């Protein structure tokens, strides 16, 4: 490191000050002494993620290493049992009583809300509590909130793996013994997701203690009883420890008293500005002193970071010139080489800007991000456009919201809610309803559907909503009303979608003859001649695939052969769909209660060759159904690998495939069966497969 071109920020003066929880000037005297004794050396170098400007960095010398080696060795510490994106621990001052109070509450199984002003030390306190519990053998599961955080992303942070999307399944997957759940920065949640996350926190707190870290007012509605700990400023004897130890005692005490012992405000203070006026509140001090002393370039960087939806890297800013100034002023927070402003500074700065100015700034940022490539750029661009409210930005959202939802449906819902708040129109309202239905959020979908104009689209949405709620007769009636209001082409598309959904609405196993006959009868009534010619071949292919599946289900070899011929005439001879059909036919034949080795080998070979993930998952599921309880290792491995692929929520077949995947996870992971099947039931409902959901619920209840 002492010769490296780029060094970690932790070795720079701002990084050292941050980790020690002191102002940067507090390092000058001790570092000078260490350097005079030859224990450290300082030099100028570039800091990773900190822009191109060189900073002062500190390296330990050979003599320094020798001195350390002669010190009494510290006790080896076990690997921390902290799961999730917890911040690095820093030195904490004057919070002993609060730490002990929370520790006792957690040991009693009680949950706590830590609230207070931004920068007062809430997250630092929660991290200190976590370290102490870790030493006692507890597991801490930490989740951070941001603009796009939803229930599933909280689950992924708590569980440290792919998470279910439903509250019940997430809670069921959480261990109970000696586990603390932390939800940090809850005030950063978008209102679109705060209700469901509040429900998650309430439900999780009945299983194990929760530490909720939030700036008042708390956006979450918590049903369970939480102990409320309001964090105040530090006592003077502790607050002065944040300052340079050579600071005149009277000055140090006066600064602490003037700033109310607020830790971040004290770290933002510099000796050059003198003792702040005692009459000034912390927010006024930040506005009138900390922000006002920034240069023009520093202000530009501050503004850019203050309105960004996520922390940014130095290369993502308009200019790197302001980074060093903001970092040296202790205005920045860092994580994985990404930076953001401390929320206290950000909130104060944004409060000084009127809506017209903010709209203009967001519009400018949207234009900047539109020139960048990648999913992250599109999400940030979409957010800025949603906050602009300008006509061309709204039009862009209308055209691109589905693309955003493919990569991040949680962020897409935030974007569309922002846009609707500024510019309510029917196109956006329909997109919002569709997104909510695709995500299985019936309550939110109902709100948006109620505000739509009457027409076939609204009827279809109402039909989907009724089916997801288990009101099947209402769903059928509403779908028929939608069909009656539709043109012939749209009517046929609705009818085909209904057939495919009905065929998929079942758990693995044979379909009854009466149900398969009902589906075939439904197919016979569809008027394919009303479908536009460019869509007709695709429609016929979809229906023939259903008929092929029914023929295999009924052991109707003649019917299967006829459908295969129809399918073959509509695809190229090299299309892997033909291999898939043949393999499904082979594994459907059971001889003397067993599947032939040749059929299993054929399935293994095919699965290894399919490049399209949804198709591969479909064949994996069909093979799992065929082999029964004796699942080969290669098939179990293929299924585990398939669980890493993200299926799209906006495609009906993917939603149904996802539900089946959670079903098979429950079969293959019996220790997590309740959680997996709870998620599968919810996914079947979201996919409008109510019969499958009811059957699995009955199986789950019987198993319990």
- pLDDT tens, residue by residue, 150-183: 999 999 999 998 889 999 999 999 988 999 999 9
Q: Do 103 and 224 sit in the same domain of this protein? A: yes
Q: Tokens for 441, please give them.
A: 């959020």
Answer yes or no: is 564 within a domain: yes
DSSP H/E element including 601: helix 597-609
In a domain, 471, yes or no: no
Spatial CB neighbours of 507, under 8 Å, sequence gap ≥ 6: 663, 692, 695, 696, 699
Among the candidates 570, 605, 625, a domain finishes at 570
- For CA atoms 388, 219, 132, 117, the dihedral sign is positive
The pLDDT confidence band at residue 78, using thresholds 50, 70 and 90, is: very low
- Across residues 3-30, what is the average pLDDT? 79
Give the distance from CA 135 to its chain's centroid: 29
Tell me, what's the pLDDT at 75? Answer: 46
Same domain? 165 vs 99: yes
Mean pLDDT score across all residues of the chain? 91
Supply the CATH number for residue 65's domain: 1.10.10.10
Among 570, 591, 607, give the residue marking a domain's end: 570
Q: What is the pLDDT of residues 404-462, one digit of tens each?
A: 999 999 999 999 999 999 888 899 999 999 999 999 999 999 999 999 999 999 999 99
Supply the pLDDT for residue 76: 42
| Packing angle of the helix pair 533-553, 557-568 (nearest 10 deg) | 160
Q: What are the C-alpha distances in Å from 218 to residues 27, 123, 215, 652?
A: 36, 15, 6, 37
Tell whether 152 is covered by a domain. yes
In a domain, 157, yes or no: yes
108 and 212 fall within a common domain: yes
Q: Residue 704 — very low, low, confident or very high, per pLDDT cuts 50/70/90?
A: low
Whether 86 and 195 map to the same domain: the answer is yes
For residue 248, being part of any structural domain is answered with: yes
Domain holding 191, by residue range, is 82-230
Least confident span in 46-50, 59-63, 95-99? 46-50
In this structure, is the dihedral angle defined by the CA atoms of residues 467, 469, 470 and 475, taken in order, positive or negative?
negative
Q: 433 and 449 in contact (C-beta within 8 Å)? A: yes
* One domain, residues 251 and 214: no
Same domain, 94 and 204: yes
Indicate whether 199 and 226 sit together in one domain: yes
Q: What are the beta bridge partners of residue 182?
A: 142, 211
Identify whether residues 197 and 117 lie together within a single domain: yes
Beta-bridged to residue 339, according to DSSP, are 312, 334
What total number of domains does the chain contain? 4
What is the residue whose two structure tokens read 């490296």? 4
pLDDT at 472 > cutoff 50: yes
Whether 596 has a pLDDT exceeding 90, the answer reads: no
**Cβ pair 479, 494 in contact under 8 A:** yes
pLDDT digits (tens, 9 = 90+) for 349-399: 999 999 999 999 999 999 999 999 999 999 999 999 999 989 999 999 999
Whether residue 32 is found in the same domain as residue 129? no
Integer Cα distance of 547 and 541 in angstroms: 10
**Does residue 431 fall inside a structural domain?**
no
Crossing angle of the two packed helices 513-524 and 488-504, in degrees rounded to 10: 170
The residue from 522, 540, 570 where one domain ends is 570
The verdict on whether omega for the bond into residue 466 sits within 30 degrees of 0, i.e. cis, is no
- Considering the domain architecture, whether residues 253 and 224 belong to the same structural domain is answered as no
Q: Determine how β-strand 332-335 pairs with β-strand 338-341.
A: antiparallel
| Nearest alpha-carbon partner for 656 in 691, 685, 622 | 685
The model's pTM: 0.87
- CATH code for the domain in which residue 197 is found: 3.40.50.300
59 is a domain residue: yes
Q: Are 107 and 49 within 8 A, CB to CB?
A: no
Amino acid 279: pLDDT: 62
pLDDT digits (tens, 9 = 90+) for 561-593: 999 999 999 888 788 999 999 999 999 887 766
Tell me the average pLDDT across 606-627: 95
Same domain for 35 and 141, yes or no, is: no
Q: For the chain, what percent of residues have pLDDT higher than 90? A: 70
**pLDDT confidence of residue 30:** 85
72 vs 395, higher pLDDT: 395
The pLDDT score that the predictor gives to residue 409 is 94
Closest CA to 84 of 15, 20, 158, 166: 158
How large is the average pLDDT for residues 522-535? Answer: 87
Q: Which of 125-129, 485-489, 671-675 has the lowest mean pLDDT?
A: 485-489
pLDDT at 77: 43
- Specify whether 87 is located in the same domain as 217: yes
- Domain assignment present for 426: no
């Amino acid at each position: 490191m002492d010769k490296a071109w780029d060094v970690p920020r932790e070795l720079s003066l701002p990084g050292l000050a941050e980790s020690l929880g002191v102002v940067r000037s507090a390092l000058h005297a001790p570092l000078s002494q260490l350097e005079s004794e030859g224990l450290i050396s300082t030099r100028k170098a570039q800091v990773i993620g900190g822009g191109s400007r060189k900073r002062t960095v500190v390296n330990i010398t050979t003599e320094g290493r020798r001195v350390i080696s002669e010190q009494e060795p510290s006790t080896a510490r076990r690997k921390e049992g902290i799961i999730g994106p917890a911040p690095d621990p820093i030195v904490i001052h004057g919070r002993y009583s609060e730490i002990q109070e929370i520790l006792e509450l957690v040991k009693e199984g009680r949950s706590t809300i830590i609230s207070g002003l931004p920068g007062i030390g809430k997250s630092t306190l929660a991290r200190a509590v976590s370290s102490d519990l870790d030493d006692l053998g507890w597991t801490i599961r930490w989740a951070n909130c941001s603009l796009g955080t939803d229930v599933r992303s909280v689950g992924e942070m708590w569980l440290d793996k792919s998470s279910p999307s439903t509250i019940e399944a997430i809670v069921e997957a959480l261990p109970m013994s000696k586990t603390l759940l932390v939800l940090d920065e809850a005030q950063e949640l978008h209102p679109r997701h705060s209700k469901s996350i509040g429900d998650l926190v309430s439900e999780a707190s009945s299983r194990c203690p929760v530490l909720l870290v939030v700036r008042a007012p708390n956006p979450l509605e918590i049903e369970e009883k939480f102990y409320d700990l309001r964090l105040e400023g530090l006592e003077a004897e502790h607050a002065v420890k944040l300052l340079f130890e050579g600071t005149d005692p009277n000055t140090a005490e006066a600064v602490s008293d003037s700033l109310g012992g607020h830790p971040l405000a004290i770290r933002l203070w510099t000796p050059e500005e003198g003792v702040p006026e005692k009459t000034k509140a912390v927010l006024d001090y930040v506005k009138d002193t900390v922000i006002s002393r920034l240069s023009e370039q520093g202000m530009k960087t501050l503004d850019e970071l203050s309105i960004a939806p996520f922390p940014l890297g130095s290369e993502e800013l308009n200019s790197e010139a302001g980074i060093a100034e903001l970092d040296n002023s202790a205005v920045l927070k860092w994580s994985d080489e990404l930076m953001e402003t401390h929320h206290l500074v950000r909130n104060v700065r944004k409060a000084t800007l009127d809506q017209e100015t903010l709209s203009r700034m967001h519009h400018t940022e949207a234009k900047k991000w539109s020139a960048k490539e990648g999913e992250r750029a599109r999400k940030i661009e979409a957010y800025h456009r949603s906050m602009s409210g300008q006509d061309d930005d709204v039009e862009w959202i209308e055209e691109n919201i589905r693309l955003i939802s493919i990569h991040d449906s949680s962020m897409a819902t935030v974007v569309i809610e922002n846009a609707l708040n500024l510019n309510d129109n029917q196109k956006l309202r329909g997109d919002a309803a569709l997104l909510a239905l695709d995500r299985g959020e019936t309550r939110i979908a109902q709100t948006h559907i109620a505000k739509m104009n009457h027409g076939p689209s609204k009827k279809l949405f109402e039909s989907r909503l009724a089916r997801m709620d288990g009101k099947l007769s209402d769903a059928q009636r509403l779908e028929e009303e939608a069909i009656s209001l539709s043109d012939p082409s749209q009517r046929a598309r609705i009818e085909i979608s209904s057939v495919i959904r009905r065929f998929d609405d079942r758990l693995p196993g044979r379909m009854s003859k009466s149900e398969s006959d009902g589906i075939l009868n439904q197919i016979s009534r569809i008027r394919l001649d009303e479908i536009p010619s460019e869509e007709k071949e695709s429609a016929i292919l979809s229906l023939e695939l259903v008929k092929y599946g029914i023929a295999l289900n009924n052991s109707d070899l003649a019917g299967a052969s006829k459908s295969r011929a129809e399918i073959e005439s509509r695809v190229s001879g090299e299309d892997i769909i033909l291999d898939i059909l043949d393999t499904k036919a082979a594994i459907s034949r059971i001889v003397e209660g067993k599947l032939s080795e040749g059929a299993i080998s054929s399935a293994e070979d095919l699965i290894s060759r399919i490049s399209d993930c949804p198709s591969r998952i479909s064949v994996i599921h069909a093979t799992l159904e065929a082999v029964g309880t004796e699942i080969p290792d290669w098939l179990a491995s293929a299924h585990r690998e398939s669980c890493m692929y993200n299926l799209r929520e906006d495609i009906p077949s993917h939603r149904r495939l996802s539900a089946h995947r959670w079903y098979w996870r429950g079969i293959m992971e019996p220790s997590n069966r309740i959680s997996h099947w709870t998620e599968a039931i919810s996914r079947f409902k979201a996919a409008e497969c109510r019969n499958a959901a009811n059957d699995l619920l009955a199986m789950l209840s019987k198993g319990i």
